[in-house]
Structure 1
Amino acid sequence: MTAEHEAGGTFSLPDDGRCRVVIEQVTPEIDGGRFPAKRVIGQTVTVAADIFADGHDELAAELLFRHDTEESWRRLPMRPLGNDRWEATFTVERLGSWFFTVEGIVDHFATWVHDLEKSYLAGEELAVEWQIGATLVSEAIPRALAGDRPRLESLAGQLRQGDDEQGLAIAGSAELARLMACYRDWGLASRYEREPEILVERRPALFSTWYELFPRSARGDGDHGTFADCERLLPAIARMGFDVVYFPPIHPIGLTNRKGKNNSTIAEAEDPGSPWAIGAAVGGHTAVHRQLGTLDDFRHFVARARELGIEVALDIAFQCSPDHPYVRSNPEWFRWRPDGTVQYAENPPKKYQDVIPFDFETAAWQPLWDELLAVFRFWIAQGISLFRVDNPHTKPFAFWERTIRHLKREHPEAIFLSEAFTRPKVMYRLAKLGFSQSYTYFSWRNTRPELEEYLTELTRTDLREYFRPNFWPNTPDILPEFLQYGGRPAFAIRYLLAATLSASCGIYGPPYELFVNDAIPGREEYLDSEKYELKRWNWEAADTLRELIGRINRVRHDNPALQENGPIAFCRSDNDNVIGYLKMTDDRSNILLMVVSLDPFTPQQAEIGIPLDRLGVEEGHPFLVEGLLTGERHIWHRQRNQVRLDPATVPGRIFRLRPRLRREHDFDYFM
């Protein structure tokens, strides 16, 4: 391609002016190819593009795609959708980076066939047309495989005979169309100037169910827990259907400015401090808190979790206690004030007197970045490939892009969850540059309009190509107001929403199971937070949400429609306290209708409108409805149906819809 200049910058002209096809508006392409779109193994990538040329000639287009390790392109024909839009779909079956591009050409043979039909219908003389067609077929012979050449020669010879009846039959035959499509001349093809990337990750990057646990409270009796104590909790967590156990930082905790209960700046002797105040004389980010156990004990826990089908995720928090070994070994990695002290971390009005931040603008930034990359590598070597990253939005974008790209090249199995409750554009940039999943604003979306607007943004815009939400109803930092006043039903409602609106979800586990809702007055934070003290969780409590959470998670694992973040179809509801929405697989083999009350206090009833046309169901035709949480069955006939929800029992329903289909023997059956 030849570069030319215009007022807006540079553009490219084809090297050969006979390349007439224009290719533009290619999707998926993030920021002009600057960032990759995302998929997981086994998913498809549907590539679409506007492809057109001057005049009225017929066109042909192909999708080219390859894995990063492959030298040659694989090719697929693209199909026209109308209005010059074309598309094709390929499946990604390996981890790592895939690339694609698009080629288009003027298809002179297809143009000849099209014009021939019009000339014949107009009663025109066709003698010259047979010679043109024969020439086009003959030109394909040198490009053909040896086995197909005799047939092409024969067909070209028959066209040259000039017999209208015979020629029309040959020109319109599927055989000749197939041969000419196989051996098109792509020498004058236009190729899209970029090769957009698709980053392919493991399935848990898209579909995962997280359970957050402070290992130091695993005993439940007030004594400091250990990794061995956590092992005893794993079977119950597995029975609830969680496939990820996430630990806050497990490193030594500093003594200087250690926090006491409820974030007090004065700690008592027995106060354990915040796990996020990382580092003491015995070690830092690659050390294990001695009261939790040894590194061998941790590896044993990881292996036991794996036996139960659970992955372990670790918190990566790039900050230090003033006692961290880095402060003495590498003082140049921190910003020192004129009085010789280091400014502790702040996020006004919050103050973190027990934490000092790294100076990412230090002149020694490269050794610092390399060291933090090595922290990830260390934990990957211990069997960890899931990381929840603390406050990534307070570190440079370039640092994360460099770090994650390095790690993805070395360990494509690694998955990164971004904990960035910040401005949307910052959250989206972090997702673009490599984070696999992201915390979201779900915790503060409570009303039906808020939920519908937010989920439409996440699932029906370009965000779905690179931003994967992970919905958390609570975290150690966040106890939303809805949970504070709604009691047990509020916890049931929010988990039901989180688990069915997003393919990935999580809970800060023990207080969620036990629907703990004691908050600091006037704030969305836990009173007596586990961040600053050991908790005596009643692991044997009878009145918990475990059974309901387990049922919901089993539904998630049994129904592929809940394992994707595809577009959600919101249903009409005549009651704003009730939200209804549909999720389905592309082939409609799994269709789920969720109806959830947004009122934790009062029974609610709503008439829910189902878009039957999208399900292939005619109004008045019966279809089976199964309640996957409650076991009830119904036969519905209409688009609008009444659903009653009681917060005292189950404040929502997950229905599987089984539309009735008709087969060739003219009998009906339910899917």
Structure 2
Amino acid sequence: MNGRADLRLGITDVAPVVSCGSFSARAVVGEHLPITATVFREGHDAVAANVVWTAPGEDGSPAPFVRMAKLPPEPDRWIAGVVPDREGRWSFGIEAWSDPLATWKHAVEVKVEAGQGPDELANDLEEGARLLDRVAAEADGEWRNRAAAAAAALRDSSQELTVRIAPALAAGLQRYLHDHPVRELVTRSPRYEVFVDRREALYGSWYEFFPRSEGPVVGGVSTHGTLTTAGDRLPAIADMGFDVVYLPPIHPIGTVNRKGPNSPQFPGGNPHDIGPDEVGSPWAIGSAEGGHDAVHPQLGTMDDFRAFVQRTRDLGMEVALDLALQAAPDHPWVREHPEWFTTKPDGTIAYAENPPKKYQDIYPINFDNDPEGLYAEVLRVVRVWMDAGVRIFRVDNPHTKPLNFWHWLIWEVKKTDPDVLFLAEAFTRPAMMHQLARIGFTQSYTYFTWRTGRGELEEYGSELATNSHYMRPNFFVNTPDILHESLQFGGPPMFKIRAVLASMLSPTWGVYSGFELFEHVAVKPGSEEYLDSEKYQLRPRDWAGAEASGRSLAPYLRRLNEVRRAHPALQQLRTLRFHQVDNPNLLCFTKTDTGSQDAVLVVVNLSSRDTHIGTTALDLPALGLDWHERFAVTDELTGARYDWGQFNYVELDPYREPAHVFAVTFPRTVQFPPPVD
């Protein structure tokens, strides 16, 4: 039998832990991270616990004492909050221990209450005195003296019982003993890792656009934009409050089997009779002009790209660049490393297919034939763009590449550059999406685009909040590939509804260029592809004319991003809570931030056609309030102010304003219940 004391007490269900500790949990700098565990022991003696929270590179240094508190309603569940202050690989463990001071205090109080006298309590008084002797031996200054005096009082039989025990139970000494306890039978859990990213890993507003569409229209004809002309679009993007500018691939585009306009409507893919000036798909990467480490000559040079990155930074934003690991048939890799592709029995290289679609302009990469060479080349490419100023990569279709490759690449980069972020564009099966997040991807595209009803939004939002210790969402309202039917047929109010939902539910959200102009026409019925898709042709837009005529959603997007920046609660995911409302067309939720005591309450009409009314039934304890209390709310979109409580009448007309975004003003200082994964 193993009688080691460090196995004496029970510690189970530690969180946040990913895959039993196989991968790191996630947090960001400044985030309030709840750490929980189930701690228990036999019998009735008191048990307590603390977190050992260790910063990167400080494994041998003494850690601050972080005591855990009980987490109702479960009697054996404990919680403590920690706040990481730097990037890198942190670690934590749980220490459970017998708490003889708490055991003694409880025993004395109940025996005195039962009427027992000093003779019956003689042993208890001496036990307490001996415990305080141990405290005095470790304490300094005032607390040494107070502990010693309390021990002496317990032993002073000349005094009445209440006088003897009063110094030991005094509030000041009890607070000190809480922070400097006597610990016995200390039991330690395994150590677990938390990788702490910069704040932008959790919070941000993304804007996607194609630099090549930002050229002038000359004589009614679109001309190819450059990185320099695209830079002229950046001030307007910054003015809308976006802080990440996402660029599709900017590399040379293959000429073999190049796609033309509206190619997706053809079952075979490409009509093969495109004109000589068709620009092709940016995701068909590589030609005689270069591959993944080159800039498309019509866009400019590497120096032009660096200038674009710098201009973006000057405006308070940063660039996210697409990392699409695939190749056009004329990519240099095809000639130099044919083993990096799949060769069919007839000797030809397999192109990408998603029946009935065929992508003859793209060769998928085979990671099994030369993993060492391919891994090294991809890492080299990533570092080329890192050296050019890119710190965020939006990874195209990562679910079609091996998981062990991504795990290796991401953590190889983070060894030297922990601030680099990776977004997984993986609209795929849940198991794969979650595993990509577990192995290291910083953020993930999600199913938000297809979640439109109240029930499915509540279920999906709750799932993401529950798994926020490793999976961070990025809610894009649209993408170049996805024009959901709700936007095709919902009219301008639906564009507002989806923008409110994405920007308020998720701390990170994104917009693909053209959303603010209400672009909504699909290439054919039943398709989510845009007519005149920008993936295959230039698509210049009259931004100034649309805004001047009031046909732009840009001012609304600007306001949403202003509200997000003003409210730390909206920059959180763990604290998302849904509330009841008696109309299925109305969605109600809150978000809170512990550090700033900020709270935001949102009610959205999910219908773009009809006015809907309802009554909320708010879970006020989730806001730190008692059920009967009332509080003030101010609508950040309209300026309207109301006095609210648990039950509140709501009426939302989608043609006027489909949502309330309320800043909450509390009648007193509140303590939010902890967010628990």
TM above 0.5, yes or no, is yes
User: Once the 2 structures are TM-superposed, how far is the Cα of residue 183 of structure 1 from its aligned partner?
Assistant: 5.9
Equivalent position to 2:77, from 51, 71, 85: 85
Asked if the contact 1:130–1:162 (Cα under 8 Å) also holds between the matched residues in 2, the reply is: no
Q: What's 1:411 paired with?
A: 417
1:26 counterpart = 2:22: no
Where do 1:151-166 residues align within 5 Å? Answer: 155-163=150-158, 165=161, 166=163
Question: Which amino acid letter does the alignment assign opposite residue 519 of structure 2?
Answer: F
Equivalent position to 2:204, from 204, 208, 218: 208
Deviation per CA, 1:236-280: give whole Å up to 9, x if none.
111111111100000011111211222224232011111011111
Aligned-partner Cα distance in 1 for 2:143–2:614: 65
Equivalent position to 1:566, from 560, 567, 574: 574
Q: What's 1:278 paired with?
A: 285
Equivalent position to 1:496, from 500, 516, 528: 500
Equivalent position to 1:442, from 442, 448, 453: 448
Q: What's 1:242 paired with?
A: 242
RMSD: 2.7
Q: What's 1:122 paired with?
A: 116
Q: What's 1:53 paired with?
A: 41
Question: Which amino acid letter does the alignment assign opposite residue 167 of structure 1?
Answer: R
Question: Which amino acid letter does the alignment assign opposite residue 210 of structure 2?
Answer: F
Q: Which shows bigger deviation, 595-604 or 366-375?
A: 595-604
Asked if the contact 1:484–1:519 (Cα under 8 Å) also holds between the matched residues in 2, the reply is: no
Question: Which amino acid letter does the alignment assign opposite residue 55 of structure 2?
Answer: H
- With over 3 angstroms needed to count, the CA separation of the structure-2 counterparts of 1:302 and 1:290, relative to structure 1, is same
1:168 counterpart = 2:172: no
Q: What's 2:127 paired with?
A: 132
1:480 counterpart = 2:477: no
Equivalent position to 1:644, from 644, 652, 673: 652
Asked if the contact 1:20–1:106 (Cα under 8 Å) also holds between the matched residues in 2, the reply is: no
Question: Which amino acid letter does the alignment assign opposite residue 469 of structure 1?
Answer: P
Aligned-partner Cα distance in 1 for 2:626–2:169: 38
Q: Which shows bigger deviation, 553-562 or 415-424?
A: 553-562
- With over 3 angstroms needed to count, the CA separation of the structure-2 counterparts of 1:184 and 1:421, relative to structure 1, is same
User: Once the 2 structures are TM-superposed, how far is the Cα of residue 209 of structure 1 from its aligned partner?
Assistant: 0.7
Equivalent position to 2:641, from 629, 633, 640: 633
**1:465 counterpart SS class:** coil
Aligned-partner Cα distance in 2 for 1:575–1:186: 53
Q: What's the TM-score once normalised by structure 1's chain length?
A: 0.90
Q: What's 2:673 paired with?
A: none
Equivalent position to 1:548, from 541, 556, 562: 556
Deviation per CA, 1:207-247: give whole Å up to 9, x if none.
11111101100125211101111111111111111111100
What 5-or-longer segments of structure 1 have no aligned partner? 1-12, 664-671
Asked if the contact 1:39–1:199 (Cα under 8 Å) also holds between the matched residues in 2, the reply is: yes
Asked if the contact 2:16–2:469 (Cα under 8 Å) also holds between the matched residues in 1, the reply is: yes
Q: What's 2:30 paired with?
A: 42
Aligned-partner Cα distance in 2 for 1:626–1:153: 55
Aligned-partner Cα distance in 2 for 1:372–1:421: 23
1:251 counterpart = 2:239: no
User: Once the 2 structures are TM-superposed, how far is the Cα of residue 186 of structure 1 from its aligned partner?
Assistant: 5.0
User: Once the 2 structures are TM-superposed, how far is the Cα of residue 334 of structure 1 from its aligned partner?
Assistant: 1.9
Aligned-partner Cα distance in 2 for 1:600–1:128: 74
Question: Which amino acid letter does the alignment assign opposite residue 77 of structure 1?
Answer: R
Asked if the contact 2:5–2:185 (Cα under 8 Å) also holds between the matched residues in 1, the reply is: no
- With over 3 angstroms needed to count, the CA separation of the structure-2 counterparts of 1:538 and 1:26, relative to structure 1, is same
Q: Which shows bigger deviation, 611-620 or 623-632?
A: 611-620
User: Once the 2 structures are TM-superposed, how far is the Cα of residue 167 of structure 1 from its aligned partner?
Assistant: 3.5
Aligned-partner Cα distance in 2 for 1:537–1:493: 23
Q: What's 2:475 paired with?
A: 471
**1:259 counterpart SS class:** coil
1:339 counterpart = 2:331: no
Question: Which amino acid letter does the alignment assign opposite residue 82 of structure 2?
Answer: F
1:579 counterpart = 2:573: no
Q: What's 2:266 paired with?
A: none
Where do 1:587-598 residues align within 5 Å? Answer: 589-598=597-606
Question: Which amino acid letter does the alignment assign opposite residue 321 of structure 1?
Answer: A
**2:487 counterpart SS class:** helix
User: Once the 2 structures are TM-superposed, how far is the Cα of residue 511 of structure 1 from its aligned partner?
Assistant: 4.6
User: Once the 2 structures are TM-superposed, how far is the Cα of residue 119 of structure 1 from its aligned partner?
Assistant: 4.3
Aligned-partner Cα distance in 1 for 2:365–2:565: 41
Q: Which shows bigger deviation, 576-585 or 408-417?
A: 576-585
Equivalent position to 2:100, from 88, 92, 108: 108
- With over 3 angstroms needed to count, the CA separation of the structure-2 counterparts of 1:18 and 1:382, relative to structure 1, is closer
Q: What's the TM-score once normalised by structure 2's chain length?
A: 0.89
Q: What's 2:232 paired with?
A: 232
Q: Which shows bigger deviation, 110-119 or 474-483?
A: 110-119
Aligned residues: 646
Aligned-partner Cα distance in 2 for 1:588–1:183: 28
Question: Which amino acid letter does the alignment assign opposite residue 320 of structure 1?
Answer: A
Percent of pairs identical after alignment? Answer: 43
Question: Which amino acid letter does the alignment assign opposite residue 377 of structure 1?
Answer: R
What 5-or-longer segments of structure 2 have no aligned partner? 264-269, 671-677
Aligned-partner Cα distance in 1 for 2:616–2:664: 14
Aligned-partner Cα distance in 1 for 2:628–2:140: 56
